[in-house]
Amino acid sequence: MNILLSGSSQEIAEGATGFDLFKDRSIVAMLVNDKPRDLANVIQPDDSVVGISLESAAGLEILRHSTAHVMAQAVQELFPESKLGIGPYITDGFYFDFDVAEPFVPEDIRRIEKRMKELVGKSQRFRRVEVSEAEAIELMKNEPYKLELIGLKSEDVAEGSIEVSPDGLSVYENINPDGTVAWMDLCRGPHLPNTRQVGKNFALLRSAAAYWRGNENNKQLQRIYGTAWDTKEALDSYTEKLEQAARRDHRKLGTELDLFSFPDEIGSGLAVFHPKGGIIRRVMEDYSRKRHEEAGYEFVYSPHITKSNLFEQSGHLGWYSEGMFPPMKLDSELDEHGAIKKQGADYFLKPMNCPFHILIFKSRSRSYRELPLRMFEFGSVYRYEKSGVLHGLTRVRGMTQDDAHLFVTPDQLQEELTKVLQFVLELLRDFGLNDFYLELSTKEDGNPKFVGSDEIWKSATDTLEAVAMASGLELVPDPGGAAFYGPKISVQARDAIGRTWQMSTIQLDFNLPERFDLEFVGSDGDKHQPIMIHRALFGSIERFFGVLTEHYAGHFPPWLAPLQVVGIPVADEFGDYLEEFCRGLKSEGVRVTVDHSDSRMQKKIRDHTLDRVPFLILAGARDQEAKTLSFRYRDGRQINDVGLQQAKAIILDSINAKVQV
RNA sequence: GCCGACCUGGCGCAAUUGGUAGCGCACCACUCUUGUAAAGUGGGGGUUACGGGUUCGAGUCCCGUGGUCGGCUCCA
């Protein structure tokens, strides 16, 4: 019979399987008519077949999923009472959920890993068995979670579910060499031909609880995460990547470099910035202010607390009260006759700045000539984030947003959004981030929670999309991801080690202008409602600070570095020579010091390198003689015999140009 | 919020079966006066997160509170 093998026509025997087609052992599965299948599948006439090699993305997914099966088998052997949840592959690895009486402890994880290695050595075949629903129920009768999945199969099976497919049910059995069934699981496959091919390049990483089917009202199962690779080198490089990420963790660097801390006495999620962190933060803020001023923003200020009415009118108390700190209650005072002498009130810490800016807009009547009106504030807000979600500076309870609200007429919208997006990207680039993509969050059709007419959503979404497209950046749709009050664009930035962070957001709002009856007088003399744009570039200064710390691994570029230059005399007597040079830098605003301590020069180089100072300048007799000095950089580079004028220029130029050194 | 683990000088870590807190770095002093990642000697510093309990005796065991970490859920 005839088939299409890797695109070319080929004659094969009736009943041939993938094993007959692919003799190359690195082919572990195949695409049959674009669907992933086991090699054991019998090829049908006119099928289009392409091999999946182990090292391909699809191959690694299969490897990881098969590794998850081996893990589940090991767990059920070691913990016979355990029940299976789901066990998919994920980026770089896999996990499997188990219902067990006692959560796993690290010793359990080691035992499981050891048992997995033994199972790999046993060389069990993965065998697919297609079953009817009744058969599946019988086979899985001791697996309550699997039974639940079987019941779901036809209706709301999650897209990409690894257990069941809309096409029908199947189980995968692990077959011992003697033909006995060692283990089985409900699974859509495909799998590697044999556990031996799982190899040794896997590791179990951690265990943690996870809600069954991701719903917090469901029971928590115990999830074990693992990683698996095709080669030892790939596993090692992945492990190295994790270690590298751990080394640049901003929480660790924050302590090491004395940038910020979270004193227990203050409370969870509330940071203090130390002097060195304070310099970085102030430089960030100063630069942001300068750019905002140039871009036509007006600076406003608002208090940290407000009476409840403001957030009642904005609606936040209705839908967001859980995210707010509870009120400070001022009781009303009564006189001796029981009449109210002083009205009581509830004061709230503000979780957002927009209502304040709106009140400024509303403080008098506005003309179309004033629009677009752009109000900017470094606004400190407080949100009662759940304790379990707090994370260093990136998820806190008190933060300062570089927040702006733009009030525009509908026909200004496109131009203003274009400007804002450009502005955002330029500023992010100045901070050394330059690998972006955009995400466009849009309305979910038919969901009544979204306010505003379909027409306005359509036109606003189209506008946002046009603006995003015009930026030339990759645009990823996020359907249904919009807030109920309007669509948004968010800028996602990739950092130095390829992780993505949501940075800036540009959010349209159809809700608040309505709730607050915002209006301006148009050229026609009539009143019109402005459109409101919320936007933050840093998101919050704290979070941006954390992201930058990780992006640079603490090696801030000179313009941001708390200490920019340290002078290191080769011996004490050259201290004055360096001191004089550094005075010149200081008068230019450079953050510089000369280390006169009685440590050895080598020790000073070590200390200030570990402290991530961008410019170490050294001078000894030779330099004093020749009116030169030598540069030593954080990566070990050195440039010797640099003339003093040139040295000054090198330092000032790299600070002013905001470049990394 | 949920599940689990953890909390010892500023930081990183030790402390047999419960027996009365040590080390390195940092800090301070002195000696050494130095050419590209750690000189030497000496010294100070901890009611072991907090509050209870068990015990002759608790860093160690038990209970509670707070905090941190890893996930899950959440991020309007």
pLDDT tens per residue, range A372-393 = 999 999 999 999 999 999 999 9
pLDDT at A576 over 80: yes
Q: What is the value of pTM for the model shown?
A: 0.92
A97, A153, A354, A551: which one is catalytic?
A354
- Nucleotide lying nearest to A314, CA to C1' measure: B76
- Give the least confident one: A300-314, A321-335, A627-641: A321-335
Q: What share of chain A is helix, strand, coil (3-state, %, to 5)?
A: 35, 30, 35
Mean pLDDT of A567-587: 94
Q: What is the pLDDT of residue A155?
A: 52
pLDDT recorded at residue A389: 93
Q: In degrees rounded to 5, what are phi and psi of residue A14? A: -55, 135
**Catalytic: which of A128, A191, A292, A383?**
A383
Q: Is A247 helix (H, G, I), strand (E, B) or coil?
A: helix
Please list, in sequence order, all residues whose beta carbon lies within 8 angstroms of the beta carbon of residue A288, skipping any fewer than 6 positions away. A402, A427, A537, A538
The closest of A485, A468, A588 to A532, measured between CA atoms, is A485
Tokens linked to A23: 């003799």
Residue carrying the six token digits 């690779």: A229
Write out pLDDT tens, residues A244-294. 899 999 999 999 999 999 988 888 999 999 999 999 999 999 999 999 999
pLDDT beyond 50 at A159: no
Is A582 an active-site residue?
Answer: no
Given the residues A125, A153, A405, A591, select the one marked as catalytic. A405
Q: Round and report the angstrom distance from CA (A173) to C1' (B69).
A: 38
Q: Is A646 a catalytic residue?
A: no
Q: Residues 345-384 of chain A: which lie with beta carbon within 7 Å of strand B?
A: 351-352, 383
Q: Are A138 and A186 in contact (CB under 8 A)?
A: no
Q: What is the DSSP letter of A617?
A: E
- Calpha distance A661→A651 (Å, rounded): 10
Q: Are strands A181-186 and A169-175 parallel, antiparallel or unpaired?
A: antiparallel
User: Closest residue by Cα to the C1' atom of nucleotide B32?
Assistant: A598
Tens of pLDDT, residues A171-222:
999 999 999 999 999 998 899 999 999 999 999 998 889 999 998 889 999 9
Q: What are phi and psi of A493, to 5 degrees?
A: -115, 140
Please name the residue whose C-alpha is nearest to the C1' of nucleotide B1: A386
pLDDT at A552 over 70: yes
Helices A413-430 and A275-294, interaxial angle, to 10°? 150
Q: Is A608 one of the annotated active-site residues of the chain?
A: no
A304 noted as active-site residue = no
- pLDDT tier at A447, thresholds 50, 70, 90: confident
Chain A 48-107, CB < 7 Å to strand B? 103, 105
Active site residue A331: no
- Name the band, by pLDDT with cuts 50, 70 and 90, for residue A236: very high
Q: Tokens 């309505």 map to which residue?
A: A514
Distance A222 CA to B50 C1' (A): 31
Query: How does the average pLDDT of chain A come out, rounded?
Result: 91
Q: Is the CB of A640 under 7 A from strand B?
A: yes
Q: How far apart are the first and last CA of chain A?
A: 65
Say whether the CB atom of A336 is under 7 angstroms from strand B.
no
With a pLDDT cut of 90, the percent of chain A lying above it is 73
**Choosing from A38, A47, A403, A495, which is the catalytic residue?**
A403
Which two tokens mark A201? 């390049």
Q: State, as a whole number of angstroms, the distance between the CA of A247 and the C1' of B46.
A: 28
A323 within 8 A of A385, measured Cβ to Cβ: yes
Does residue A403 carry a catalytic annotation?
A: yes
Listed in sequence order, the DSSP H helices in A431-526 are 454-470, 512-515
Which nucleotides on chain B have any atom < 7 A from a protein Cβ? 1-5, 11-12, 26, 30-39, 66-76
Per-residue tokens: A507: 């959010």
Only one residue has tokens 């510089």, namely: A592
Contact criterion met (CB below 8 Å) for A285 and A541:
yes
Q: What is the ipTM of this complex?
A: 0.93
Measured CA distances, A519 to A24, A301, A529, A530 (Å): 71, 22, 4, 6
Instruction: Produce one character per residue of A219-247: b if its CB has 16 or more CB atoms within 10 Å, e if not.
Output: eebbbbbbbbbbeeebbeebeeeeeeeee
